[in-house]
Amino acid sequence: MGKIEDIMVYTKLVILTVISFVLVNNCQTTLPILLQSNNDTSVLSILIVASITFVAYEGFQLVINAVNEMETPEKNIPIAIYSAIFIAILIYVVISLGAILAIPFDEIIKNKEYALASGAKHVLGHWGTDLVIIGALLATSSAISGTVFGA
């Protein structure tokens, strides 16, 4: 099961890298335009983003479940957790930046939950949508697998 989990995670990372690379290379918006927002941010919006972020980083406690299987856990657990958090932040920032630079805001607002798939479709055709769907399935599968078998 560990090997299957590794394959799912590495495949997911490759898909995210491809999507982010393609989106960043097909940007239609400049960063200064993004920073010129006159919209007020509500407290509800901040709470929604905070809760989504909490759920996104929820799986890091599973690293501690492998303490009995690690060599020198007092050294390896902090390295594993901090490097995983750093890599996750990097992936989230690059994907988000690529999405907001390559996908028009109207489309992001209109498509909401599947804006990345819709934007990738405009850049890569049906392959873009397929890649995002496969990446989402792998992410969900590896999260379930990590939770079930990590416990």
pLDDT at 89: 84
| Ranges of each domain in the chain | 2-150
What does the pLDDT read at residue 76? 86
* pLDDT tens per residue, range 12-52: 889 888 888 888 888 776 655 555 666 666 778 778 877 87
Amino acid type, 104:
P
The pLDDT mean for the chain works out to 79
Per-residue pLDDT tens over the stretch 80-105: 888 888 888 888 888 888 888 888 77
Judge if pTM exceeds 0.75: no
Question: What gap in Å lies between CA 87 and CA 38, rounded to an integer?
Answer: 32
Burial class of residue 57 (count of CB atoms within 10 Å of its CB; 0-12, 13-18, 19+):
middle
